[in-house]
Chain A
Amino acid sequence: SYELTQPPSVSVSPGQTARITCSGDALPKQYAYWYQEKSGQAPALVIYKDTERPSGIPERFSGSSSGTTVTLTISGVQAEDEADYYCQSADSSGTYRVVFGGGTKLTVL
């Protein structure tokens, strides 16, 4: 079955740049999306269609894509960015289904 692979954890100091990767064989053919989930809150969309940022999301959040890997980059990380981040895409090779990555815990040191 199709999977999206993320690192379990990433740690950075405030003001540094955090990069969270997501790998999957179908990513060259399907868009990726990123969600932020803070403790006790519902997930929130931070990047859509690989690189687009929804209104209200700070400019320090950006997305990129290269081959089978997409990357969420948070520049100038702030303490409030500490959260779990999930990538999402789709598997349309057979019966359509949505796939989430396993999630990455971003720790701001």
Chain B
Amino acid sequence: EVQLLESGGGLVQPGGSLRLSCAASGITFSNYAMTWVRQAPGKGLQWVSGIGGSGSSTYYADSVKGRFTISRDNSKNTLYLQMNSLRAEDTAVYYCAKSPVNIVVETGYYFDYWGQGTLVTVSS
């Protein structure tokens, strides 16, 4: 059974930093591209960032480029999102999700398994 478990969310002041983690089980983690998707309170889904199975290719939404860094440790079956220079508008539930393909830009980059999410609140 595929399981994705996010952690690391919490309350942080504007300008602060936070690192989210997503522990995967039930899969050969390095075989699959992964992604972070967020949902602000009462709003829709917003793609944040994606990473290929090897970790060498990364992609970002314009709204987080230069502030957030996605990475993965395939030896630990864990995905990360380092969030710096946080803003109030980054407040959201952050989901990690697995893709059935290895490469982000490959046709068929979608998300077949999702974690339950972790809440990030940016407020003073």
Q: Given A35-B45, A43-B45, A86-B45, do A98 and B35 touch, yes or no (CB 8 Å)?
A: yes
Closest approach, in angstroms, between the C-beta of A69 and any C-beta of chain B?
18
* Secondary structure call for the B interface: loop
Give the contacts of A9-57 with B (CB-CB under 8 A): 30-31, 33, 35, 37, 42-45, 48-49, 54
Assess the A96–B44 pair: CB atoms within 8 A.
no
- Collect the chain B residues with CB atoms within 8 Å of residue A92's CB: 105
Q: Which chain B residue has the least Cβ–Cβ distance from A89?
A: B110
Give the contacts of B39-70 with A (CB-CB under 8 A): 44-47, 50, 59-62
| A93 CB-CB contact with B under 8 Å | no
Count of chain A residues with Cβ under 8 Å from any Cβ of B?
A: 27
Count of chain B residues with Cβ under 8 Å from any Cβ of A?
A: 25
- Collect the chain B residues with CB atoms within 8 Å of residue A90's CB: 109
Our pick among A1, A42, A49 for the contact of B95 (Cβ within 8 Å) is A42
Q: Given A42-B116, A49-B108, do A103 and B45 touch, yes or no (CB 8 Å)?
A: yes
- For the complex, give the distance between the alpha carbons of A95 and B45 in Å: 20
Give the contacts of A88-106 with B (CB-CB under 8 A): 88, 90, 92, 95-103
Q: Which chain B residue has the least Cβ–Cβ distance from A99?
A: B47
Q: List 11 A-B contacts (CB under 8 A).
A: A31-B110, A42-B95, A42-B116, A45-B111, A88-B110, A92-B105, A96-B104, A97-B62, A98-B35, A100-B46, A102-B44
Closest 8 A/B residue pairs (Cβ) = A98-B47, A103-B44, A33-B110, A42-B114, A100-B45, A96-B105, A102-B44, A86-B45
